Chains A and B, each alone.
Chain A
Amino acid sequence: MSEAAIASVPEAEAWPARERCLALLRQMLLVRRFEERAAECYQQGLIRGFLHLGIGQEAVAVGAIAALEPDDRIVAAYREHGQALARGVPAASVMAEMFGKATGCCRGRGGSMHLFDAARRLYGGNAIVAGGLPLACGLALADRILGRPHVTACFFGDGAVAEGEFHESLNLAALWVLPVLFLCENNLYAMGTRLDRHQAMADIHRKGDAYAMPHAVVDGMDVLAVEAAVRRAVEQVRGTGRPFLLEARTYRFRAHSMYDAELYRPREEVERWKQRDPLPLFIARLQDGGRLDDAALAAVEAEVAAEIDAAVAAAQAAAVEPVADLLRDVVAPSSPEPQT
Chain B
Amino acid sequence: MTRITYREAVRQGLREALAADDRVVLVGEDVGRYGGAYACSKGLLDEFGAERVRDAPLSEAAFVGAGIGAALAGLLPIVEIMTVNFSLLALDQIVNNAATLRHMSGGQMSVPLVIRMATGAGRQVAAQHSHSLEVWYAHVPGLKVLAAATVADARWMLAAALADPNPVILFEHALLYPVEDDVDARPAGFDPWHAAIRRPGRDATIVTYGGSLPKCLAAAETLAGEGIDAEVVDLRCLRPLDVGCVLESVARTHRAVVVDEGWKTCGLGAEISATIAEERLYELDAPVARVCTAEAPIPYAQHLETAALPSAARIAAAVRDVVPGKTAAAAAPRAE
A residues with CB within 8 A of B = 73, 75, 104-110, 114, 116-118, 123-126, 128, 131, 133-143, 145-146, 164-165, 168-169, 171-172, 175-176, 328-332, 334-336, 338-340
Closest to A178 in B: B66
* Residue pair A340, B74 in contact (C-beta under 8 Å): yes
User: Of B75, B105, B164, which contacts A110 at CB under 8 A?
Assistant: B105
- Can you sample 28 A-B contacts with CB below 8 Å? A105-B106, A107-B106, A107-B107, A109-B103, A116-B105, A118-B108, A123-B109, A125-B104, A128-B97, A131-B65, A131-B93, A133-B65, A134-B62, A134-B66, A134-B93, A135-B97, A137-B62, A141-B70, A142-B73, A165-B92, A169-B65, A329-B106, A329-B107, A330-B103, A331-B142, A332-B102, A336-B165, A338-B74
State whether A124 and B105 are in contact (beta carbons under 8 Å apart), knowing that A334-B165, A335-B165 are contacts in the complex: yes
Give chain B interface residues in 74-113, CB to chain A under 8 Å: 74-75, 77, 92-93, 96-97, 101-110
User: Of A124, A133, A334, A338, which contacts B101 at CB under 8 A?
Assistant: A124
Q: A117 to chain B: closest CB distance in Å? A: 7
B144 within 8 A of A: yes
Chain B residues in 8 Å Cβ range of A109: 103-106
Q: B325 to chain A: closest CB distance in Å? A: 45
State whether A118 and B65 are in contact (beta carbons under 8 Å apart), knowing that A110-B104, A146-B75, A339-B74 are contacts in the complex: no
State whether A118 and B97 are in contact (beta carbons under 8 Å apart), knowing that A138-B68, A145-B51, A165-B65 are contacts in the complex: no
Give chain B interface residues in 159-186, CB to chain A under 8 Å: 163-166
* Residue pair B61, A168 in contact (C-beta under 8 Å): yes
Give the size of the chain B interface in residues (CB under 8 angstroms).
45
Complex Cα–Cα for A145 and B141 (A): 30
B56 within 8 A of A: yes
B235 within 8 A of A: no
* Residue pair B59, A168 in contact (C-beta under 8 Å): yes
* Residue pair B59, A171 in contact (C-beta under 8 Å): yes
Complex Cα–Cα for A164 and B90 (A): 11
Q: B163 to chain A: closest CB distance in Å? A: 7
* Residue pair B73, A131 in contact (C-beta under 8 Å): no
* Residue pair B75, A142 in contact (C-beta under 8 Å): yes
* Residue pair B70, A139 in contact (C-beta under 8 Å): yes
* Residue pair B165, A169 in contact (C-beta under 8 Å): no
B64 within 8 A of A: yes
Complex Cα–Cα for A106 and B104 (A): 7
Closest to A326 in B: B103
Complex Cα–Cα for A131 and B94 (A): 11
State whether A142 and B108 are in contact (beta carbons under 8 Å apart), knowing that A134-B64, A164-B61, A332-B166 are contacts in the complex: no
Between A145, A164, A331, the greatest number of chain B beta carbons within 10 A of the residue's beta carbon is seen for: A331
Can you list the 4 inter-chain pairs with the closest CB atoms, starting with the nearest? A134-B65, A138-B69, A142-B73, A168-B62
User: Of B65, B110, B163, which contacts A138 at CB under 8 A?
Assistant: B65
B189 within 8 A of A: no
Complex Cα–Cα for A139 and B75 (A): 9
* Residue pair B108, A134 in contact (C-beta under 8 Å): no
Chain A residues in 8 Å Cβ range of B251: none
Complex Cα–Cα for A105 and B104 (A): 10
* Residue pair B73, A329 in contact (C-beta under 8 Å): no
* Residue pair A137, B69 in contact (C-beta under 8 Å): yes
Chain A residues in 8 Å Cβ range of B110: 332, 336, 339
B71 within 8 A of A: yes
Complex Cα–Cα for A116 and B102 (A): 10
User: Of A110, A126, A140, A172, which contacts B106 at CB under 8 A?
Assistant: A110
* Residue pair B65, A137 in contact (C-beta under 8 Å): yes
Complex Cα–Cα for A105 and B142 (A): 20
Complex Cα–Cα for A136 and B67 (A): 10
Closest to A172 in B: B62
Q: A173 to chain B: closest CB distance in Å? A: 9
Chain B residues in 8 Å Cβ range of A169: 62, 65
State whether A329 and B96 are in contact (beta carbons under 8 Å apart), knowing that A136-B69, A139-B69, A169-B65 are contacts in the complex: no
Chain A residues in 8 Å Cβ range of B107: 107, 328-329
Chain B residues in 8 Å Cβ range of A108: 106
* Residue pair A104, B62 in contact (C-beta under 8 Å): no
Q: A232 to chain B: closest CB distance in Å? A: 25
Chain A residues in 8 Å Cβ range of B25: 145
Chain A residues in 8 Å Cβ range of B244: none
